[in-house]
Amino acid sequence: MKFFKLPDLGEGLQEAEIVEWHVHEGDEVNEDQLVLSVETAKAIVDIPSPQAGRIGKLFGKAGDLIHVGTPLLEYVDAEDDDTGTVVGKMQTAGTSDVLDEDFIIGSPPRADDPWALKGVQRVMAQNMAKAHTEVVKVTLFDDVDVDNWAPGEDATMRLVRAIAAGCAAEPKLNAWFDGRKLSLRLLPHIDLGIAVDTEQGLFVPVLRNITGRSREDLRTGLDNLRAAVNARSIPAAEMTGATITLSNFGMLAGRYASPVIVPPMVAILGAGRIRREPVAIKISGEEQVAIHRVLPLSLSFDHRAASGGEAARFLAAVMKDLAAAD
């Protein structure tokens, strides 16, 4: 071939950002030799040369956004078995007077120029816009007394277990909804998407089959997923197929939120920061005031797929499990 184009990256991904070229124009390359690294919404992908030859031209530089089917490089003296037609158009992040530092991932914007979203942030913006357009979102708020928890309790694992209890009480929240066909698919396993905040943006790796695993196995699995996300080495398959989502934003700050549901999922549970506050309790039949630990919860659900009563029963089951001593 004369032109090597960006191949299909799978998982429905249609674009990628050039991170680094590992070759230069004029270099001789071997088949399967690494030629460049690109960043998709899910991971950094190394792309090898499909054939041996000498590189005549490289298309694009670090920071450029390219689409599947766009030429990446041209081989010298190779047979022109391809028309060379560019499918799509090379897009760059910025205007004609861009500076080199504008192409550094995570670099701040210049005050007088727009900042083009890239990689994870770009896909997040697209997904949020899609969710806002498609989903009829309603959010329920409540607090649960977690003073029964043992010191050092793993809050995330308690939330994982509680979500399983909620799904057992109301399976319709562990489902996928097709808005075009107006069809609801109840799912046999709970594959929990867990929001992970990184410097590059928001990732949601999937913790598989949370009801069929021990707490220790789930904790190890979650730690491995987070490490892979931070290293940008997580397989794309581990970022897809979530049936319901948990956002434990209280690890950073905040009490309540209105979490966004990414279709086709039906629900997302948000957990705020645990706080100590006065609560009314009964001791020997008499009401008294005590200082307890309280966990705020925010449950967003798609009202097209679930009723308010179903969502409330799900949340009640979650709260009951969280309130229990382990």
Confidence at residue 80, expressed as pLDDT on a 0 to 100 scale = 62
Report the alpha-carbon distance of residue 268 to residue 91 in Å, rounded.
34
Confidence at residue 104, expressed as pLDDT on a 0 to 100 scale = 43
Q: What is the pLDDT of residues 243-300, one digit of tens each?
A: 999 999 999 999 999 999 999 999 999 999 999 999 998 888 888 999 999 999 999 9
HSE at residue 16, side-chain half, CA atoms within 13 A, is 30
Counting residues of the chain whose pLDDT is more than 70, the rounded percentage is 87
Cβ atoms of residues 48 and 32 within 8 Å: yes
pLDDT band with cut points at 50, 70 and 90 for residue 197: confident
DSSP per-residue string spanning 86-131: -SS--B-SS-TT--GGGGSTTPPPPTTS-----HHHHHHHHHHHHH
Closest CA relative to residue 121, chosen from 24, 238, 39: 39
Residue 82 scores a pLDDT above 60: no
The beta strand positions in the chain, using DSSP E, are 3-5, 15-21, 28-29, 34-39, 44-48, 53-58, 65-67, 71-75, 137-145, 175-178, 183-186, 192-194, 196-198, 201-203, 206-207, 244-247, 267-271, 275-283, 286-302
Cβ atoms of residues 294 and 279 within 8 Å: yes
pLDDT band with cut points at 50, 70 and 90 for residue 323: very high
Confidence at residue 113, expressed as pLDDT on a 0 to 100 scale = 60
Q: What is the pLDDT of residues 160-196, one digit of tens each?
A: 999 999 999 999 999 999 999 999 999 999 999 999 8
Confidence at residue 175, expressed as pLDDT on a 0 to 100 scale = 97
Residues 216-222, mean pLDDT to the nearest whole number: 95
Residue 88 scores a pLDDT above 50: no
Domains and CATH numbers, the chain: 3-116 (2.40.50.100), 124-323 (3.30.559.10)
Residues 131-154, mean pLDDT to the nearest whole number: 94
Residues 36-62, mean pLDDT to the nearest whole number: 86
Q: What is the mean pLDDT of the chain?
A: 85
Residue 85 scores a pLDDT above 60: no
Residue 211 scores a pLDDT above 70: yes
pLDDT band with cut points at 50, 70 and 90 for residue 101: very low
Q: By three-state DSSP, how is residue 261 classified?
A: coil
Residues 31-54, mean pLDDT to the nearest whole number: 86
